[in-house]
Amino acid sequence: MHTRGIIIEGLKKQYGSGDTLVDALKGVEMQVALGEVVGLVGPSGSGKSTLLKCLGAVIEPSAGRMKLGETIIYDGKWKIKDLRALRRDKIGFVFQAPYLIPFLDVIDNVALLPMLAGEGNSIARKRAVELLEALDVGHRAKAMPSQLSGGEQQRVAIARALVNHPPVILADEPTAPLDSQRALAVIGILNDMARQYETAIIIVTHDEKIIPTFKRIYHIRDGRTHEEAGEGKSPRELIKTDKA
Ligand SMILES: Nc1ncnc2c1ncn2[C@@H]1O[C@H](COP(=O)(O)OP(=O)(O)OP(=O)(O)O)[C@@H](O)[C@H]1O
């Protein structure tokens, strides 16, 4: 397996202690190559959000190892001092709700992150526009988020997740509010972006419409993962079949 992507070994996470102890992750093994999109599926309470939060450095694991390429992120403790910079530069998040900033227009919603990372305003905006165009929402660049459809808002949220070209994208139910055509279109875009920008993408989902698109799926149950080959169908072919 590619050693440049995400490598998770024996990852554990416990919440609480004593009588209230919860073993949320019990030794997760996972590898995702750069340029690859994998699905993460499992029943409610199986540990999906906990795993994404550990990977996103939002919460601290209890044991195990997480690596990004050759860089060890966590090995029994955090190995990176500046976790905010790690989240800002290396990880893009896409959520079920787009969480756009309501008082900024579409361009600035996307350009804000590179600006925060120290990029000049005009270069940040240029990058935002390029991505918005690639995601087919360039024509809405001057609109406010409330003026967009749900599918357009989600594409803007994807542009925001990609704008700093992070090696990792973590998506938590990104298609849940979308109908089948739009859900498949969003997955098509994430697949294209993974290839184009060499991004490792993990998609947590319950969405039956998109599960056939994954080439590899990690099932998580009771805090442990097992890997399975998926059908790897092309989202665009599925859109056509759906229309027929
Ligand atoms: N902050 C917390 N404190 C204590 N226990 C927690 C906390 N967050 C999650 N848990 C527990 O950890 C286990 C895994 O939860 P997690 O949210 O990761 O599951 P999930 O697979 O994302 O579920 P869902 O699909 O319902 O969102 C559950 O038993 C949950 O109750």
Q: Please indicate whether residue 76, judged by its CB atom, sits closer than 6 Å to ligand 1.
A: no
State in Å: Cα 125 to ligand 1 middle: 38
State in Å: Cα 189 to ligand 1 middle: 29
Q: Please indicate whether residue 50, judged by its CB atom, sits closer than 6 Å to ligand 1.
A: yes
The closest residue, in CA terms, to atom 28 on ligand 1 is 45
Predicted local confidence at residue 176, as pLDDT: 82
State in Å: Cα 48 to ligand 1 middle: 8
State in Å: Cα 96 to ligand 1 middle: 17
Per-residue pLDDT tens, the chain, 244 aa: give them.
Answer: 446 899 999 999 999 999 999 999 999 999 999 999 999 999 999 999 999 999 999 999 999 999 998 899 999 999 999 999 898 889 998 888 888 999 999 999 999 989 988 899 999 999 999 989 988 899 999 999 999 998 899 889 989 998 888 999 999 998 887 788 888 988 998 898 899 889 999 999 988 889 999 999 999 998 999 999 999 999 888 887 766 5
Candidate of 14, 19, 48 to mutate for ligand 1, largest count of ligand atoms within 8 Å of Cβ: 48
**Helix H or strand E segment including 14:** strand 6-15
The C-alpha atoms of residue 141 and residue 127 are separated, in whole angstroms, by: 12
Q: How far is CA 108 from CA 27, 124, 155, in A?
A: 40, 9, 14
- Nearest 5°: the CA angle 19, 22, 28 is 150
List, in order of start, the domains of the chain with CATH numbers. Answer: 34-57+82-243 (3.40.50.300)
Q: Please indicate whether residue 92, judged by its CB atom, sits closer than 6 Å to ligand 1.
A: no
State in Å: Cα 164 to ligand 1 middle: 29
The neighbouring-strand residues paired with 91 are: 168
State in Å: Cα 25 to ligand 1 middle: 10
Candidate of 12, 14, 49 to mutate for ligand 1, largest count of ligand atoms within 8 Å of Cβ: 49
Please give the number of the atom of ligand 1 that sits closest to the Cα of 52.
Answer: 18
Q: How far is CA 230 from CA 36, 40, 190, 214, in A?
A: 13, 11, 17, 5
